[in-house]
Amino acid sequence: MSAAAAASSPGSVLPAWRDPLAWARTADIFAVLLALSLPWSTSLVGIFAVAWLVTVAPSLDIGGFLESLKRPVCALPIALFTLALIGTLWSDAPWGARLYAVSPTSKLLVLPVLLYHFQRSTRGMWVFAAFLVSCTLLMAMSWLVAFDPRLALKSGASYGVPVKNYIDQSQEFALCAVALAYPVITLLRAKRILLAALLVAISLSFVVNMTFVAVSRTALVTMPILLAVFALLHLKWRTNFIIFCAAIVLATLAWVASPQLRRTILTFQRDYVLYMEYDQATSLGLRLEFWRKSLRFFAEAPVVGHGTGSTRGLFEQAATGPRDLAEGEVIGNPHNQTLNVAVQWGMVGVVVLYAMWWFHLLLFRGDGLVAWIGLLVVTQNIFTSLFNSHLFDFHEGWMYVIGVGVAGGMLLKKAALEAVPEPGHSAKS
C-alpha cells in the first residue's frame, strides 16, 4: 500500500481524532476566530464559543481541570453564576424573566475553561493579536462609514459606527489604544524604532477616531484612568510629568478641533440640568434615577436581594410618572454592575463580585505584556461598570472573559514553569 493510500485509510485518520494535541490545536483556532469575530458579530461569537468548548473538551484532563476549579480565580465566576441560578428560587418575577436574567452570567462558566486551556497552550498571543487586527480593521471601516454611511453593515447605523453601537466600539478602541502602550515602551527601550512607530500609529489612530468620529462618555471617563495606571506602573515620574503636560496640550487641541468631542463632553452638564430641573429622561439623568431607586431596592433586601430577574418588576412598581419622564422610566438594568448585583442578590452577591475582581487583579500583579493586558481588561471592566453593567453585557462581558481567561492562563503556565526546580536542584533548595 502506498503512503498516500495509508494516509487516507480510516485506520490512519482515527488516531488523529483521538489525539488530544490535535483537539487542542483546533481549539486554539476557534479561540482566534472568537477574538476575530467579537468586534463584528454577536451570532458568530456564540457559534465560535460553542465550537471552542466542543473542541477543547477532548483535550481536557478531567482530574487536573477539576483541581484547577479550586482556585479563587476559577471558583468565584462559577459562584456568581450559581448565585444567579439559586436566586431564581426567591424571586417574584415570572419564570421566563428569572431564567433570562441568569443567561448573562452563563458566559462566566467559560472563564475557568479558558484559564485551564491556555495554561497548556502556546498560542495565547495569537488570540490577542487577532483581536487587535480585527479592531484595527473595524477602525478603518469606521472612517469609511463616517465619509459614506451607506457602507455600514447594518441599517440605521450611527455616524462612524459600521456594526453594533458606539459604546462597544469605544470600549474596543480604548482597550487597544492603551494596551499598545506597553509594547511601544518596550520596543523603544530595545531601540526597535520602526516597529514601535507602527504601533504608535495604530494606537493614535484609535484615539483620533474616538476624537473625531464616535466615542462614548464611559470611554472618555475611563481611558485617562487606564493611562494613569500604566504610567504609575511602568514609567518614571519625570516621564509621567512630560506625558501629563503633553496630554493637556493634546486634549486642548482635540477640544478645539473636534466638534464631536465638545458635543459629547458638554452633554454631561446639559443632561444633568435637564434631569434635575425638568425630570427629563436624559442619559445621565436616567442613570441617576436608576441608581437612586436601586439603592432603595437594595435597602429593602440587603442580604440576599430580591432574587434573579426581579429588577424590572421593582422599577415598574416604583414608576411614579409618565414614561417620557425620568421617574416613569422602567428598566431591567440599573446601568451599574454593583447595583445590578445588589438588587438581585444583595450583599452576598456584591461580596462574590468584588472578590472575583480582586482575585483577578491579583492574578496580573507581575510584569510583562500578558500581565499588562490582563490588568487592563480587569481595570477597564471595573471602572466602566460604574456606569454600565458591563460584566453582564454581551460584548463587554465577553471581552472580560476572553481577556482574563487567555492572559490568566498564560500567566498560570509561566508561574508553574518557574516553580519547577532546575535539574540537579531539590525543591527545597
The residue extents of the domains of the chain are 76-109+293-320+331-416, 126-257
Burial (CB < 10 A; 0-12, 13-18, 19+), residue 38, is buried
Percent of the chain with pLDDT over 70: 79
* Mean pLDDT in residue range 36-56: 94
pLDDT, tens digit (0-9, with 9 covering 90-100), for 95-120? 999 999 999 999 999 999 999 999 98
pLDDT, tens digit (0-9, with 9 covering 90-100), for 225-270? 887 777 777 666 665 556 556 666 666 665 555 566 556 665 655 6
Measured CA to CA, the distance from residue 303 to residue 344 in angstroms comes to 10
* Mean pLDDT in residue range 212-234: 77
* Mean pLDDT in residue range 83-88: 95
Residue 428 has pLDDT above 50, yes or no: no
SS3 (DSSP) at 280: strand
DSSP annotation of 306: S
Task: Identify the CA nearest to 394 among candidates 333, 329, 316, 338.
Answer: 333
Lowest mean pLDDT among 104-113, 129-138, 171-180, 317-326: 317-326
pLDDT of residue 355: 97
Q: DSSP letters along 89-147, please? A: GG--S-HHHHHHHHHHHHGGGHHHHHHHHTTT-S-HHHHHHHHHHHHHHHHHHHHHHHH
pLDDT of residue 340: 94
Lowest mean pLDDT among 73-77, 175-179, 215-219, 377-381: 215-219
* Mean pLDDT in residue range 276-305: 78
CA distances from 213 to 58, 256, 267 (A): 45, 15, 16
